Amino acid sequence: MFQMNEFLERRLARRFRAHDHDGNGFLQRRDFELAAVRMAEEFGHGPESPARQKLVAISLGLWEHLQKVADLNTDGRISLGEYKAAFAAGMLETPETFHQNYVPYIDAVLDIADIDGDGRLTVSDEVRWMSSLMNVPEQVSRDAFYRIDKDNDGFITASELVEAIRGYYFDESPESPGHWLLGSLDP
């Protein structure tokens, strides 16, 4: 069980809002499907695209897992309270299961956003996928990009992105790239 402190609660609330695409205060299946489709379309992937189909399938798989562990009242939607409770209970992400859950997801994101297929994202790629998939404003994505790009080569790789997301959940240091992933969490 995770110790739920105020900082982690703010991070989870921010992540929850990033998933809540229709802004109704609940996570639902359509939020996950809409986000994946919107991102695929942003990068020109139509319904027949294998990369789009993979991202949609993984996103819906994430939804199904989330619903199974967090939808306590089985109403087909997840409140912020249910989301936080599931995380605190170690049912969403743990340091031990993190790579198993996130590596396939980030690989699917890169299959769509890495237009030239070189295994790296440019700042423009980062802005486009974060905006379309996670509702992250452009400037926040730009700022996060430069923090995630630890080697300052002008690109971020899947491993840099996975480590930033890991840091978002498990590293409270303000210097952590994950601290800035969805924007500053400072009050």
Relative to beta strand 120-121, strand 156-157 is: antiparallel
Residue 98 has pLDDT above 80, yes or no: no
Range with lowest mean pLDDT among 50-59, 87-96, 153-162: 87-96
Q: Which fold has domain 6-180?
A: Recoverin; domain 1 (1.10.238)
What does the pLDDT read at residue 37?
A: 97
Is residue 156 pLDDT above 50, yes or no? yes
Spell out the domain ranges in the chain: 6-180
Name the least confident of 45-49, 79-83, 156-160, 174-178. 174-178
Q: Which residue has the higher pLDDT, 33 or 69?
A: 33
> Does pLDDT of 92 surpass 70?
no
pLDDT at 143 over 60: yes
Q: Is the pLDDT of residue 109 over 90?
A: yes
User: What is the distance between the alpha carbons of residues 29 and 145, in angstroms, rounded to a whole number?
Assistant: 28
- Residue 1: pLDDT above 60? no
pLDDT digits (tens, 9 = 90+) for 54-80: 999 999 998 998 899 899 899 999 999
pLDDT at 79: 96
Higher-confidence position of 103 and 98: 103
